[in-house]
Amino acid sequence: MRAHLGDQLVVENTTTSGARRDGEIVGLRHDDGTPPYDVRWSDTDEVTLVFPGPDAHIRHLGPPDRPGEPAPATQRAHGPADIGRRVAAERRRRGLGREETARRARMAPGYLAYLEEESADPSASTLIRLADALGTTVTALRGGDTDQAPGRGRAMRRPLLRDIGPGECRALLGTHGVGRVAVAAPDGHPAVVPVNYEVVDGAICFRTAPRSTPAAAVGSEVAFEVDHMDEVLGQGWSVLAVGPASVVTAADAVRRLTGRAHTTPWAGGEREMWVSIRPTRLTGRRITPADG
């Protein structure tokens, strides 16, 4: 018998007085995946050390490769599972380490590492504990809300909407991210489009293509907005920058921006035109608990 982290151990009780039990393997005692195992039982949520008997078998829910061996090339090409990436991203966003997250979710740190780095399919109970530990939802970890507009959560009972100053606005803009630029499109209609941006020497810069909608910002005063909301807590913030936009033409400046860029434009394609917005007005608002 060999198992991987995340596999299910099923015990088929052969007596009439007992019931079938199953649990998730959250700890391995041997590198080759042989017993015993640390098992979190689905009926009690308790973890016990188990030496499986003849009435037990393993359901392999993780990748088919054996522990310590590399995954097949086709699997490596896809990278970590979507759930693992969302767990890792949410953990980092909340400033939590693996040890602390694993403690909150009542699981072994090694198992959390496995979930984040391998193509795992965690059980429903595991996802519930992770969602609770990270202050999010199982739906969000599964990616079920990717086609839904943000902000569907309930408002807090006593919200406080307050203005934030330019210094805090600059800090919230950070060094890069995704924001929205409001322009008069080439067809004359107003438009708001998302762009990947960089903040360099106080200017908000983004890459686009000539004659595209974001390129219409050049030569006019535009508005640029970035925000974040916590669906679970019903709080968040937004920052609005207003200022003239210009195209970056100096070759050394273009090379500098390209070299410092944290990511390529998500929209893909040829987008080598850099646009710079120099804010003349920077305002923001934050929603917090009234007693926070």
Residues 113-139 have pLDDT tens digits of 888 887 667 777 788 889 888 888 777
Domains and CATH numbers, the chain: 1-148 (1.10.260.40), 159-289 (2.30.110.10)
| Residue 75 pLDDT > 80 | no
Residues 204-219 have pLDDT tens digits of 999 999 989 999 999 9
Confidence (pLDDT) at 76 = 36
The three-state DSSP-derived secondary structure of 258-272 is HHHCCCCCCCCCCCC
The pTM of the full predicted model, rounded to 2 decimals, is 0.59
Residues 84-124 have pLDDT tens digits of 888 998 898 888 999 999 999 988 888 888 888 876 677 77
Residue with tokens 């195209």: 247
Confidence (pLDDT) at 209 = 93
Confidence (pLDDT) at 107 = 86
Cα–Cα–Cα angle for 199, 234, 82, rounded to 5 degrees: 65
Residue 151: CB atoms within 10 A of its CB come to 11
Asked whether the beta carbons of 193 and 179 are under 8 A apart, the reply is no
Kindly report the average pLDDT of the chain as a whole number. 83
Confidence (pLDDT) at 62 = 46
**Pick from 238, 236, 241, 240: nearest CA to 160:** 236
Residues 243-257 have pLDDT tens digits of 999 999 999 999 999
